[in-house]
Amino acid sequence: MDQAAEYLSQVGEYPPMSPTQEKRLLRKMDWILVPMLLTTATLGAVDKVAISTAAIYGLRDDLHLSGSQYSWAGSILYFGCIVGMWPSSYVLQRVPSAKYLACCSIGWSILSLLIPACRQFSDLMVLRFLMGCLEGIIVPSISLVIAGFYKKSEQPPRNAIAFAAVSSVINGFLSWAVGQIPSSTSLSKWQYLFLITGSISLAWSLVAVVYLPDTPMNAWFLSEQEKFYAISRQAENKTGIVNKTWKRQQAIEAVADPKTWIIFLFNIAINVPNGGLITFSGIIINNLGFSAVTTSLLNMPTGIMSTLSAFLFSWVAAKWTNRRCFVTIIAACIPAVGISLGQANTAGHTKKNVQYSIMYIGYAVGNLIGPQTFRANQAPEYTTGFAAMLVCYCLCIGLMVLYWALAAVLNTRRETLSTTTTAAANYYSSDGDSLAESPFADMTDYEQREFKYTT
């Protein structure tokens, strides 16, 4: 049984929630939970993308990086993500997701603080690989938290905010500030950059360990009545909130579900451009003739535009009922919309964990490939890198059309079936055992006859 069902069985009844109470509840979650998730994800990304600015502040020269070594320094982090994702997925099923995320955040912050001590290529590769092993948990854990607090229709704009590209803005500002440090100091500017970003990230991680909630049941900012309402309104999702029992059959179903692999391929294609630009954007802008300090500032507008466009398209996806695939096709460069499809169309806690892990591996593979498309011998044009970006965006559109068609077919079959069968009238028997289709019975989307896929 889902832990939400256990919680509801232990608390008293409350009167139905009024629209005013629901708005107040949403405001609380939006102004406390979402900013905390945004800060955690952003600082993790800042630690990750700082290498782009570090490259123009002397990292390549100080570590004697030659040929494709810098590209591999960008890619190795995502090898770590792939390696670390599977054990993290297993751990996520058994421990509070937000607490595990915060502990991993402490780990990658410490590793970021160690990067200034690197003296050669191998040192950097080891630390970046270990950072990837820990950072691979960001998307699955935050996705689980958002799915546990919000209805399907409410998830896309919250995803857009939580995964907003604010890291480019913060990294740009910190890089500009580092650029003001005199060159006569004992450390290089790129070393100061990692020391600053790592320190900020570590300080926040300690706060997150204490205050970042996993579910409405342990949200410190909600009253008991608000917790009851927050859980009750999740019933229409039919996806549950949290269940710590690993179910082998759900894991098998996640792997066998074709939707999982369409989103996996989509994540690869959408993140090949992302991986290339994260690693090489600073170098590309610097090669246009701008100084290192100016290059840092010019990285900021892309983050601002990405954040605004991600929020806009995700808001449209939430308001335009059952057109989420179409919106993703239009906004092929907005991964946050695609993330919401996995949240909305997957039920069963083990299945969600496995599917999020596979989705994130797709993200990691795309980001791993991205830097390799930017060849050192093609600088400053990088023709292969830009060609790969265009091809991948086209692939994203085709994959999203396929996903929409599959979800539409599944919905049609369920509508046909619902006309000949009757859904369970009661969710729980008198002894507390779950019946066929409780919204908190930890059943998968395939097992629930009344589950409707978002398209």
pLDDT in tens, 394-409: 898 899 889 989 988 8
**Contact assessment for residue 396 and residue 332, using Cβ atoms and an 8 Å cutoff:** yes
418 compared with 182, residue with greater pLDDT = 182
In which domain, by residue range, is 84 found? 23-217+246-418
pLDDT category, 443, cuts 50, 70, 90? confident
428 has a pLDDT exceeding 50: no
Number of domains in the chain: 1
Mean pLDDT of 420-439: 44
pLDDT at 438 over 80: no
All residues at 6 or more sequence positions from 327 whose CB lies less than 8 Å from its CB, including other chains: 313, 316, 317, 320, 337
Contact predicate 189/179, CB 8 Å: yes
Taking alpha carbons only, the member of 242, 180, 182, 244 closest to residue 217 is 242
Write the CA distances from 300 to 135, 284, 285, integer angstroms: 23, 14, 12
- Other CB atoms within a 10 A radius of the CB of residue 184 amount to 5
419: exposed, middle or buried (C-beta count within 10 Å: 0-12, 13-18, 19+)? exposed
Report d(CA 347, CA 354) in Å as an integer.
Answer: 11
Predicted pLDDT of residue 212:
96
User: What is the Cα–Cα distance from 383 to 335, expressed in whole angstroms?
Assistant: 24
High-pLDDT (> 90) share of the chain, %: 30
Is 164 part of any domain? yes
Average pLDDT over residues 12-25: 89
Contact 48, 96 (CB under 8 A): no
Asked whether the beta carbons of 139 and 363 are under 8 A apart, the reply is yes
**Cβ–Cβ under 8 Å, residues 296 and 177:** no
In this predicted model, what pLDDT tens digit does every residue of 130-186 receive, in sequence order?
999 998 888 888 988 998 899 877 887 888 788 876 777 888 888 889 999 988 888
185 within some domain: yes
Mean pLDDT score of the chain, rounded to an integer?
82
19 vs 316, more confident: 19
Of the candidates 17, 26, 200, 13, which has an alpha carbon nearest to the alpha carbon of residue 113? 200
Spatial contact of 113 and 194, defined as CB atoms under 8 Å apart: yes
Q: What percent of the chain has pLDDT over 70?
A: 82
Measure the CA–CA gap between 300 and 284, rounded to whole angstroms.
Answer: 14
Question: Average pLDDT in the 33-50 region?
Answer: 90
Instruction: Give the length of the chain.
Output: 455
DSSP classification of residue 214: S
pLDDT band at 434 (very low <50, low <70, confident <90, very high): very low
Residue 3 falls inside a structural domain:
no
DSSP letter at 428 equals B
**80 in a structural domain:** yes
Distance CA 12, CA 108 (A): 42
Confidence of residue 445 (pLDDT cuts 50, 70, 90): confident
Of 235-249, 258-272, 340-354, 406-420, the one with minimum mean pLDDT is 235-249
Does 439 fall in a domain?
no
| Confidence grade of residue 240 (pLDDT, cut at 50, 70, 90) | low
Q: What is the pLDDT of residue 241?
A: 56
Find out whether 109 and 205 touch, Cβ atoms under 8 Å: yes
Question: Does 225 fall in a domain?
Answer: no
Which is higher by pLDDT, 193 or 416?
Answer: 193
> For residues 394 and 442, which has the higher predicted lDDT (pLDDT)?
394
> What CATH number should be reported for the domain holding residue 59?
1.20.1250.20
Residue 208 pLDDT greater than 90, yes or no: yes
Q: How far, in Å, CA of 253 to CA of 231, rounded? A: 26
Is 206 part of a structural domain of the chain? yes
The pLDDT score that the predictor gives to residue 426 is 40
Whether 347 is covered by a domain: the verdict is yes
Residue 362 CA to residue 166 CA, distance in Å, equals 22
Burial zone of 17 (CB within 10 Å; 0-12 exposed, 13-18 middle, 19+ buried): middle
Q: Who wins on pLDDT, 455 or 99?
A: 99
Residue 310 is encoded by which pair of tokens? 């991600």
The whole-number average pLDDT for the span 370-393 is: 86
Total-model pTM:
0.76
The residue with tokens 């919680």 is: 7
Both structure tokens of 285: 């802008």
Residues 56 and 53: their CA atoms lie apart, in Å, by: 5
| Maximum alpha-carbon separation in the chain | 79
What pLDDT does 338 receive?
A: 55
Neighbour tally for 89: CB within 10 Å: 22
